[in-house]
Homo-oligomer: A and B are copies of this chain.
Amino acid sequence: MTTATPTDPDYEARCRASFARQAVMGTLGAELTSITPGAAQIDMPFNAAFTQQHGFLHAGAISTALDSACGYAALSVMPADAAVLTIEFKINLLSPGRGERFIFRGQVTKPGRTILVADGQAFAIDADGAEKLIATMTATMMSIRDRPDLKG
């Protein structure tokens, strides 16, 4: 893993402001609990409104939070005027999305001027507080500049 140096000293405020504009995070009840240069953590409670047919958290809800964790890990090391867009990601669902709450961690594996690669892990937390790895993601992110209409 590469510990990236953020080029923007205000990275935290910038990432938190962008996260606050992601309406889907509020809909999911997700919070950005940590943002450091090249790494982000999102916490989310279980919510039956986002389940699949067996009552587990839907793979898409896990993807939503992991994609944002990877995206903010990437945005944290981008210049102040950059916007982040997801080019693609892959997710492996290792265990059912069963838990009281969930933690999603994203880290930048490879920083870059245009292309950044981030890896993420999703954990389910049971009533006893035990963490279980339930999914892993690799995401390719793009740093967009010179687009006044796209910010953060």
Nearest chain B CB to A88's CB is how many angstroms away? 4
Whether the pair B140, A87 counts as a contact (CB closer than 8 A) is yes
Whether the pair A140, B88 counts as a contact (CB closer than 8 A) is yes
> Which residues of A, 44-69, contact B by the 8 Å Cβ criterion?
48-54, 58-61, 63-65, 67-68
Residue of B nearest to A152 (CB): B53
**Interface residue? A93 (CB, 8 A):** yes
Choose from B61, B67, B90 the contact partner of A24 (Cβ within 8 Å): B61
Whether the pair B23, A138 counts as a contact (CB closer than 8 A) is no
Given pairs A60-B64, A88-B92, A90-B91, 19 additional interface contacts (CB within 8 A): A22-B52, A22-B53, A22-B58, A23-B52, A24-B50, A24-B61, A54-B152, A59-B63, A60-B65, A63-B63, A88-B90, A88-B93, A92-B117, A92-B138, A94-B117, A95-B110, A109-B133, A117-B136, A136-B138
Q: Which residues of B contact A133 (CB under 8 A)?
A: 109-110
**Interface residue? A85 (CB, 8 A):** yes
Complex-state Cα separation, A115 to B47, whole angstroms:
28
Nearest chain B CB to A119's CB is how many angstroms away? 7
Nearest chain B CB to A109's CB is how many angstroms away? 6
**Interface residue? A142 (CB, 8 A):** yes
Nearest chain B CB to A107's CB is how many angstroms away? 12
Choose from B83, B90, B151 the contact partner of A90 (Cβ within 8 Å): B90
